[in-house]
A and B are shown apart, each in its own frame.
Chain A
Amino acid sequence: MTDLVLDIRDLSVDYGIGDNAVHAAVGVDLALRKGEVLGLAGESGSGKSTLAYAVTRLLRPPGVITGGEVWFHGEDGEVDLLAADADVLRKLRWQEISVVFQSAMHSLNPVYTIGRQLTDVYEVHRPNLSRTARRDRAVDLLRMVGITGDRLNSYPHELSGGMRQRVMIAMALALEPRIVIMDEPTTALDVVTQREIMSELIGLRDRLGFAVLFITHDLSLLIELADSIAVMYAGRLVERAPAASLFRAPRHPYTLGLLNSFPSLHGAWRKMTGITGSPPDLRHVPSGCPFHPRCPHAVDVCHTNQPALLELQPGRSTACWLHDGVHTPPAELVLPEPFVGRMS
């Protein structure tokens, strides 16, 4: 595959060491292609943010990367981010891989103007640019995310939450990276603002061609936004599929349960139950498949053995014993693939 930009292989992350270590991510395989929006969905404690921090090598102690490789495919060859030294990382971060964190409130420096923070990026990474050129680029960036240039002189507290998040996205795009990792970028925003930012983001992706790893707990948002979706549970990847397939024909009982957790805006009222039980405590992950205590279809083997991620067809895989060819999955987990591709 030549269009890969990020290839995560068998990545494992622990918090703490020894017997008390909490396994926040276990053997995660994930590939991000050029220009793709890959959604990573999971509940709190599923390891989705840990994964983002590990990939960018921003993980802080007691977080420890215990295994795996993360290959970044750039113009000048491939780099294993987990083996890269500080110099290599410094060249890649922001230039090639940038991150937008959840809380724009805390990511912008409150005592500097927006303009100063935007031009600062260019001052460090593009030292050849003149002062006016830097400022022009900053104005262009703001315009790109729908903010007028006169806001350059504003301080973060003078902007609304949505505008601050737009500034963060603009900053992430400043050096035209190949990958943008977004960790719950719109969770703190109102739905109308979220919708605006999402459509701007997709427009920018279409224009600039960067790939997005979009991390959120809101699966319903991802189905509209992402090209493909990976679902995490208790640190493991349980399903990966194109967005439309995942929505119309989920294969993992957890995905199905999540989809049944979002009341619809259409149609007749029907009782929905969500998923029974509680999300797992990572200090005491259940044996076998970590989802089995909450799974309505669990069979004997689920209690003892952990299922591997099994490729059902190209681009779609799931980690569930029901699909191992021996068991017969229930009808709702073998719905036919939707015929249509992505509409947007």
Chain B
Amino acid sequence: MTAEVRSPAEETTVLLAARGLTKHFPHRERRHPLRRLSVRAVEDVTLDLAAGTVTAVVGESGSGKSTLARMLARLIVPTAGEVLLHGVPTPPGGVRRDYSRQVQLVLQDPFSSLNPVHSVRYHLARPLVIHRLAERGADLDRSIRELLDRVALTPVETFIDKYPHELSGGQRQRVAIARALAVRPDVLIADEPVSMLDVSIRLGVLNLLADLRDTEGLAILYVTHDIASARYLADTIAVMYAGRVVESGPAAEVTDNPAHPYTRLLLRAAPDPDRIEPHVTTGRGAPPSLVRPPAGCRFHPRCPHVMDVCRTTAPPDLSVAAGHVSACWLHETTDRPVAANGEAG
């Protein structure tokens, strides 16, 4: 992905923004039944989704990426922070229908997100009717056909009266995307939209999302564990670890010049047949408990470059290049040498 071709235009319109979003889930342990603990799933995440761009949130299971997506879709209420839609804060008491008219969610598993007893036609008619976007009858039928056409389920006749079990996984996911598009949203939140699909058809769905961005100017949040697919689809990547965004920047910049030790670990661990250097897995181990996260930087117990400051103080977002920030003390001053990509230590 060359920066010249794909970098967001100078003047981008931020459609949906997260400001300091935090989610703590209540949690109790058997040993201390009266103690109110919390799982700190997402901590102080700030993110902009601009029109005509795909923002990828990359992380492992338990990194908080799906919780973040659900907060942005207003399926769960943040503990702190706010979601701005078109720059306006969305209060918790607001009308949900107005919000979902503009922000739509596509879920991971198209086998369970479609109702097995209803046809494709019904699935696509519901949002159109509920939001009064089409009159029942010929108008509704035309709108449904348009939707199927937009997600390339053509010829439309073969799909419109099918039931979910008659469709392949990729076709089902296209129906789910068409359903999300029915209300003509500004923002699409896709939570692992291809991870349940067969390898050979994943790119078809990713290319569909790219087309929707390019032709309709949708702001898309692409949540994934697969950093290679994020590099392929996204304009910007935010890497999450243990509830925090540890690095974010233009997609090619983050994958080609990773600044945070965790991003480097993730890139090294990803299957990569083109890899030249042999594997050196530094940063073994697993993500920490989110009930009692480590003090300071949450990655410090696994970090090969850990310093004293990392153990006590959480790092701020430090700029490493234009639009590229890394929450890592290694980037605190310019005179401190930062380990190169090859990473000797």
Report yes or no: A264 in contact with B200, Cβ–Cβ below 8 A: no
Cα–Cα, bound, A264→B272 (Å): 7
Convert A241-279 into 0s and 1s, putting 1 for each residue whose CB lies closer than 8 angstroms to a CB of B: 000000100000000011011111111110111111011
The docked-state distance in angstroms from the alpha carbon of A341 to that of B225 is: 31
B48 interfacial contact with A, CB 8 Å: no
Residue of A224, A274, A278 near B272 (CB, 8 A) is A224
Q: Which residues of B contact A218 (CB under 8 A)?
A: 199, 271
The closest CB in chain B to the CB of A267 belongs to B274
In the complex, residue of chain B having the shortest beta-carbon distance to the beta carbon of A254: B200
Residues of A within 8 A of B265 (CB): 192
Determine if B255 is an interface residue (Cβ-Cβ < 8 Å). Answer: yes
Chain A contacts for B284, CB-based, 8 A: 196
A266-B60 contact given A195-B281, A261-B200, A275-B201, CB 8 Å threshold: no
| B337 touches A (CB below 8 Å) | no
B275 close to chain A: CB less than 8 A: yes
Contacting pair B266 A192 (CB below 8 A): yes
Q: Is A193's beta carbon under 8 Å from chain B?
A: yes
Contact assessment for B200 and A192 in the assembled complex, using a CB-CB cutoff below 8 Å = no
Task: Indicate which residue in A191, A262, A269 contacts B199 across the interface (CB closer than 8 Å).
Answer: A262
* A residues in contact with B266, CB < 8 Å: 191-192
* Complex alpha-carbon distance, A220 and B255, angstroms: 18
State whether B228 touches A262 (Cβ < 8 A). yes
Contacts A43-B199, A258-B199 given; does A269 touch B232 at CB 8 Å: yes
Q: Which residues of A contact B286 (CB under 8 A)?
A: 160, 162, 193
Query: In the bound complex, do residue B203 and residue A195 qualify as a contact, i.e. CB atoms below 8 Å apart?
Result: no
Main secondary structure of the interface of A (DSSP, over half): loop
Query: B229 interface residue, CB < 8 Å from A?
Result: yes
- Which of B1-9, B116-124, B126-134, B143-151 lies on the face that meets chain A? B1-9
Q: Please state if A265 and B229 are interface contacts (CB–CB under 8 Å).
A: no
Q: Given A265-B270, A265-B274, A278-B170: A272 and B203 within 8 A (CB)? A: yes
Contact B279 A195 (CB under 8 A): yes
Q: A304 to B38, alpha carbons, bound, how many Å?
A: 63
Task: State A192–B68 Cα separation when bound (angstroms).
Answer: 22
Assuming A44-B198, A279-B198, is B271 touching A220 (CB within 8 A)?
Answer: yes
Expressed in whole angstroms, the minimum distance between the Cβ of B19 and any Cβ of chain A is 29
Find out whether the CB atom of B267 lies under 8 angstroms from the CB atom of A265: yes
Q: What are 30 A-B residue pairs whose CB atoms fall within 8 Å in the complex?
A: A160-B286, A190-B60, A191-B60, A192-B265, A192-B281, A193-B286, A195-B281, A199-B281, A220-B271, A220-B272, A221-B271, A223-B273, A224-B275, A261-B199, A261-B200, A261-B202, A264-B231, A264-B272, A264-B274, A265-B231, A265-B267, A265-B270, A266-B256, A266-B274, A268-B1, A268-B2, A269-B1, A269-B232, A275-B201, A279-B198
Q: Which residues of A contact B (CB under 8 A)?
A: 43-44, 160, 162, 190-196, 199, 217-221, 223-224, 247, 257-258, 260-269, 271-276, 278-279, 343-344
